[in-house]
Structure 1
Amino acid sequence: MTVQSFERDASLRTWLLAEAPESGFQAWSQSFYLAWLRLAANPLAVIGLVVLLALGLVALMAPWIATHSPFDQVLTERLQRPSAAHWLGTDELGRDVFSRIVYGARTTLYIVGLVAVIVGPIGLCIGATAGYLGGWVEALLMRITDIFLSFPSLILALAFVSALGPSLDNAIIAIALSSWPGIARLARAETLTIRSSDYVDAVRVMGASTPRIIFKHVMPMCLPSVVVRVTLSMASVALTAAGLGFLGLGAQPPTPEWGAMLSTARQYLLEHWYLAAMPGLAILTVSLAFNLFGDGLRDMLNPRS
């Protein structure tokens, strides 16, 4: 490292750690930098983040990473063991297992991403509205939430997808419908504390309408907790998606999906164990990465840290 680069890094660090920020951008940069330091102090969270970034990279570059088409069936090469031609072997239809796992990352991220986009705003809106308005509105919304919480998420998702029909999009809807209640309960608990704060009383006295207070002042304060909860929930979402695929209610053949691959591989478990081990290991890795990163994100966004 040259003297100039060292001095430049030192000045940047001084700018990021200045006690009196001179602009909004500097204040935002300081908050982000301090949050990153808290995340970097947790090695397991960094590992989880690296795994998730690697998964996203694999999904994005699947056509270049996969060694074969995930749909090509070569019956003369069915149930081959791992080799130089097929790194993780082939399945019962002669399809390359490695390529299907690579493309299966796209399916998993598609499900997890859409569910997060759906359940986050729904749970936040319902919880913040119930917590701020109180009264019969809170009682009605929370009783509906309690009804959804009274069923295990996988059983509820099975019921919804059975009613809607087996498909990838219906599985996403079913998982989303079974995942929002926990976020709503969390947002309500946060709102019960926020609604009695001084700044909310101030904007109320200034004449702000109830929707403006909820959307402009209450929800932003609930957002960090909701983001952490959504991130931690993504592990269970990935497992639920794999469970629906295992039962044939998620992604339909020939779409590569880890749960469906695990379902077909169970018939050959004794002779060809790798067919089930590889998609199972992928599911385990992704779920663990979301949990590790969620724990680190909770520490990073905790205002008491």
Structure 2
Amino acid sequence: MTVPGLAPLGRILRFLMRQPTSAFGLGVIGLLIFGAVFAPWLATHDPYAQDLANTLAPPGGGHWFGTDELGRDIWSRLVWGTRITLTIIALVTVVVGPIGLAVGTIAGYYGGKVDTVMMRITDIFLSFPSLILSLAFVAALGPSLSNAIIAIALTSWPPIARLARAETLTFRAEDYVSAARLQGASDARIILKSIVPMCLPSVLIRLTLNMATVILTAAGLGFLGLGAQPPLPEWGAMIATGRRYMIDSWWLVTFPGIAILCVSLAFNLVGDGLRDALDPKQMNRR
């Protein structure tokens, strides 16, 4: 089945590359992936190696981004931290996407009591700020990177479910859904074959925009000591350990902060570009 608005990947990429903002976002994401894949070769030092004779060294030839309070190379820790960031994004997206899509499509398709129960549960999650709710889950599960990923995933699916439900309420009244039902197709088949593909473009856009929030939430948990634990080179945790020395050693928090800012901005820009690329009106103009 051909999904209206879901163009081939090549056409979408060409559209994104023609837009300066989305092209910038793709470039930053490409650098993030490149850094994660080739971290052992890009890092100039062991990210965990301590050099107590060279602590809080400013950026220079030996250490491009300086060293931290234990003499560890900031550049190398930033590069290795890309793997942690990508791991968080990938795992949260893999969990959140299917759960939100399933809850939203089932609630929108069946309506009635099913819709009421599912959406009230969704509203309970939405009534709390995502970071506050993530803090509560991590406090209950215990501080660690894996528990932080679980907590972020548990708080990120409700907006996806709301979006999928709204899309399903529109599509379930379409003629092709009625025709499939008259032909004897089961509810599960109609949802999987007719409803879910139509919801995918909007859900993909939302997931891309949601990645920036995931990064910021993970960094916030790491900053508060509830996410990745030392000595892991997670960017939020790096800012947390460096804030005590930031007055005299600005590079400890500046470079991790710039990394978080650039990656979050990149996903937002790509999400905006993807929204335009998957818009049927935009597609008809090309």
Global fold match (TM > 0.5)? yes
Trace 1:288-299 onto structure 2 (pairs within 5 A): 288-299=265-276
- Alignment length (residue pairs): 280
Give the partner amino acid of 1:270: I
C-alpha RMSD over aligned residues: 1.7
Runs of 4 or more above 6 Å deviation: none
Deviations 1:34-56 (A, max 9, x none): 43443233210011011101110
Equivalent residue, structure 2, for 1:204:
181
Which amino acid is the alignment partner of residue 236 of structure 2?
A: G
Name the residue aligned to 1:14: none
Q: Which one of 191, 201, 214 corresponds to residue 237 of structure 1?
A: 214
How far is 1:188 from its partner?
Answer: 0.2
TM-score normalised according to structure 1 size: 0.89
Larger Rg: 1
How many Å separate the matches in 2 of 1:165 and 1:34?
45
TM-score under structure 2 normalisation? Answer: 0.95
Matched, 1:56 2:23: no
Shift of 1:33: 4.5
Per-residue deviation, residues 260-299 of structure 1 (Å, max 9, x unmatched)? 0000111001100111100000000000000000000111
- The counterpart of 2:120, out of the listed 143, 150, 158, is 143
The Cα of 1:301 is off from its aligned counterpart by 1.0
- Secondary structure of 2:232's counterpart equals coil
The residue that corresponds to 2:164 in the other structure is 187
Call closer, same or farther: CA 1:36–1:257 in 2, change over 3 Å: closer
1:220-243 deviation line (CA, Å, top 9, x unaligned) = 110010000000000010000000
What's 2:86 paired with?
Answer: 109
Within 5 A, what are the aligned runs for 1:1-305? 31-305=8-282
The SS at the match of 1:304 is: helix
- The whole-number CA distance in structure 2 between the counterparts of 1:195 and 1:74 is 63
Q: Could you tell me which residue of structure 2 aligns to residue 3 of structure 1?
A: none
Q: Deviations over 1:153-200 (max 9, x none)?
A: 000000001100001110000000010000000000000000000100
Q: CA offsets, 1:209-259, max 9 Å, x none?
A: 011111111001100100000000000100000000000111111111000
| Aligned-residue identity in percent | 62
1:82-124 CA-partner distances (Å, limit 9, x unpaired): 1111111110111001000000111111101111111001000
Tell me how far apart the structure 2 counterparts of residues 187 and 139 of structure 1 sit (CA, whole Å): 15
Letter in 2 for 1:190: E
- Rounded to whole Å, the distance in 1 between the matches of 2:150 and 2:72 is 29
- Label 1:131 to 1:30 Cα distance change in 2 as closer, same or farther (>3 A): closer
Q: Which runs of 5+ in 1 are unaligned?
A: 1-23
Counterpart amino acid of residue 126 in structure 1: V
> Shift of residue 32 of structure 1?
4.0
**Bigger shift: 138-147 or 37-46?**
37-46
Say which structure, 1 or 2, has more relative contact order (CA 8 Å, 6+ apart).
Answer: 2
Structure 1 distance, partners of 2:59, 2:266, is: 26
Tell me if the contact between 2:7 and 2:278 (Cα under 8 Å) persists in the aligned partners: no
Separation in 2 of the partners of 1:39 and 1:84?
Answer: 37
Structure 1 CA distance for aligned equivalents of residues 59 and 91 of structure 2: 34
